[in-house]
Amino acid sequence: MTAIIGAGIDRVDAALKVTGSANYPNDVAYPGLAHAALVRATVAAGRIRAIDTSAAEAAPGVLTVITHLTAPRLDRGPMTLLGPSPPAPIQDDRILHHGQHVAIVVADSPERARHAASLVRVEYETVKALLDLDDPRAEVTANPWNLDTDRGDVAAGFAAADVVVEGTYTTPDNTNNPLGLMSTVAIWHGDSLTVHDSTQWPHNVRTSLAKIFKVPESGIRVLAPYVGGGFGAGLRMWPHVILTVLAAREVGRPVKLVLTRPEMFTSVGHRPHSVMRFKLGATRDGRLMAIDADGVSPVAMEDDDYEPVSLCAATAYGCSHVRTRDRQVRLNIPCPGSMRAPAEGQGNFGLESAVDELAHALGMDPLELRLRNFAQADPESGLPWSSNALRECYRLGAERFGWSRRTPQPGSMREGRWLIGYGMAAVSYPAYQVPCQARASLHRDGSAFVRSAATDIGTGTYTVMTQLAAESLGLDVSRVRFDLGDSDMPYSPQAGGSGLTGALGNAVHLACRRLVGDVLDLVRDDANSPLRGMKLDDVTVDQGRVHRVGIPEQGEAYSDILARHGVEELSADGRSIPPRSEDLGMAVAGAFGAKFVEVRVDPDLGLLRVARVVSAIDGGRVLNEKTATSQIVGGTVGGISQAMFEDTATDRETGRIANATFGDYLIPVNADIPDIDVIFVGEPDPATPIGTKGVGEVGLVGLAAAIANAVHHATGRRIRTLPITIDQLM
């Protein structure tokens, strides 16, 4: 049999997607479906003085208009793995940010709902909004997750340093903007509820709705078989989902809400802007002696999101003296949330820019400086890494890129009017795992069905889990169906934090192994079976058969065993639990990466072009080179986008987002994206049975710094503020 894992297979859902047959939440239709539209606040802070819904209620086709005056009191959702739930919407007259939901209108068509929403008249009493990080009136909160770092003696470290660099780096608000507009369809059947939702985490939606609407979890089913991207926007259950469920109960019909693109900017989180300070000290020969880092980001008035932007400095390099501090400032803004490598995406830009500044100050090659400070062991715990191929990333990435052709002096490489710059950055992505469950069933015909309530946000989860199950059961992939996106399936955590492939993959693997064990149990005393009395370790699986290790003839097909024993279907559950460094005696490692970028700058016109990118990635075991490469390519596009394009602009007077459309919010087009070269290095990680480390976010991180560092090499100009715009290059 050819290897199922590695080079991999095409996406199992490819045909469904390209033929439009994959059912996304906003494709869902029901007889009698009603449609909702939102009314949002047009001021950033204050109170609703009056709200007049009479014109909206009288408009054609309108079924209901719900405001804070008519909505029931609802509990706040539960504490989750990712922090507290957002507060319940339309509970009182207070306005805490521009774009806050103030009413939901339901009508018999989307157009009539939207029209009626435009007829709702709201009068506000406004107060001066808090919109700036340095507003002295704003509350500053410490990071509640205890993620600050104090290691060694930072003052002594700097005292022993020959060279110190320090810089302030800022990143803007960015908006997740998955292509699929986030949608919810809610249907009540008596006291039970079905919800189709653009979520990255169906079980969280179920748990949250159960608490808020005071119904048992067993009465709620959340479906998300396809989601049009997430980028983190679907990690939390946001208030518009609650409003849709409330509206469906009110009108006694199924209700659909599809957020508009402008609503996507204020309703489902965003990457918060940050101001970061990184200070690095090193000896003349490039040994890092001390790192001191601070980060500040905004958070909403009554919601929570924590972005430890400086934390990446704690474990990226072997350095004995490190201090990191992250603080949040409460502002009148839509709540930030995780977006595409949250915190790392911002922090790595500051840290890896500062490392480049240090290399320049030392007169040392930036690659050499990083090699000299490679963290031999996990700097926090002192434990050896479960695996770390960062040096191979450096070596093979540099080789592929042609880093040795770089001449050190800024502005020294040129082609015609274009200044050429080579820049690089490193990534040490944190490991993230949470428990996950899966169930595997073997049918009498020898085919298998495996499932878990996970989501595939476009990353290839359906495909790699089909492969893993096929490998673990010894079946051809065509004999395995993997299903997901249904909260009635076994528990899965969110598709996020680069953690799902590991958590779910290990659960699938364990379920399949247990299933093979159950097959052996069937024949334990079976005189007709060549497998009689055998244990899991005695056998191997291949081509739909179980046989003795090394002796293919001594075995039999699943279908024969099940038929002989009159078993229609055999099922087994698997539950993965996160590997713990303390138990393993090694630090469970996340992915590593080295990013190399060539830019071209036209100094007269301020033009910046990314000409080439090489990403060398240690993601542990790669299950499917095609989908894993896609992840890194997609992340690279996101990184270029972060570096050069994306910038959510908020008007500092009104708190209104000024560019909340795809016409105004810049994202790269095909012509902005060069050849993207991806190399996977490293080995299966020994911390878990399947050996993956997660490649969801490591692709994005590092690009912003590598591009800014390349700009410095091209022009001698140090860019400390994203995005890199023409005015910074003129």
Given the rule CB under 6 A, which residues bind ligand MOS?
200, 230, 232, 235, 338-340, 342, 496-497
Helix (H) or strand (E) holding 596: strand 592-602
Pick 236 or 360: Cβ nearer ligand MOS: 236
**Order of strands across the sheet with 192-197?**
62-67, 101-107, 34-40, 255-258, 183-189, 192-197, 220-223
Closest approach, Cβ 96 to ligand MOS, in A, equals 23
Instruction: Please answer whether residues 429 and 595 qualify as being in contact, where contact means their C-beta atoms are separated by less than 8 angstroms.
Output: no
Instruction: Please say which residue, 366 or 699, places its beta carbon nearer to ligand MOS.
Output: 699
CB of 720 to ligand MOS, least distance (A): 24
Q: Report how far residue 271's alpha carbon sits from residue 280's, in angstroms, rounded to the nearest whole number.
A: 26
Point out the catalytic residue in the list 250, 307, 646, 697. Answer: 697
* CB-based closest residue to ligand MOS: 232
Closest to ligand MOS by CB, 186 vs 464, is: 464
The position carrying tokens 């609703």 is 48
Reading the block at residue 194, the tokens are 């079905």
Please identify, using beta-carbon distances, which residue of 350 and 638 lies nearer to ligand MOS.
638
Q: Which is nearer to ligand MOS, 46 or 345 (CB)?
A: 345
What crossing angle do the helices spanning 703-715 and 625-644 adopt, rounded to 10°?
A: 50
> At its nearest, how many Å lie between ligand MOS and the CB of residue 161?
35
Residue 547: both structure tokens together: 């046989």
Min dist. Cβ of residue 512 to ligand MOS (A): 26
Q: Residue 198 is which amino acid?
A: S
Using DSSP's 3-state secondary structure scheme, residue 652 falls into: coil
Q: How far apart are CB 460 and ligand MOS at their closest, in Å?
A: 15
Q: How far apart are CA 66 and CA 60, in angstroms?
A: 16
Answer yes or no: are the C-beta atoms of 581 and 587 closer than 8 Å.
yes
Query: What DSSP designation does 435 have?
Result: -
CB of 338 to ligand MOS, least distance (A): 4
Q: How far apart are CA 12 and CA 626, in angstroms?
A: 12
Residue 369 near residue 355 (C-beta atoms within 8 A): yes
- CB of residue 234 to ligand MOS, shortest distance in Å: 7
Cα–Cα distance list, 19 to 16, 22, 286, 466 (Å): 5, 8, 56, 21
Q: For ligand MOS, which is the closer residue by CB, 232 or 254?
A: 232
Compute the least distance from the CB of residue 700 to ligand MOS, in Å.
10
User: CA-CA distances (angstroms) from residue 382 to 320, 375, 376, 581, 582?
Assistant: 10, 10, 9, 11, 11
Query: Smaller CB distance to ligand MOS: residue 67 or 636?
Result: 636
Torsion of CA 499, 505, 507, 512, to 10 degrees: 180
In the complex, the smallest distance separating the C-beta of residue 154 from ligand MOS, rounded to whole angstroms, is 30
Backbone angles phi, psi at 193, to 5 degrees: -140, 135
Closer CB to ligand MOS, 236 or 600, in the complex? 236
Peptide bond into 202 cis (omega under 30): no
Query: Is residue 594 classed as helix, strand or coil in its secondary structure?
Result: strand
Give residues with Cβ within 8 angstroms of 486, minimum separation 6: 202, 221, 222, 223, 224, 225, 451, 453
Active site residue 582: no
On whether the CB atoms of residues 277 and 166 are closer than 8 A, the answer is yes
Question: Which of 705, 641, 728 has the alpha carbon at shortest distance from 346?
Answer: 705
Nearer to ligand MOS, 253 or 340 (CB): 340
Catalytic residue positions, numbered? 697
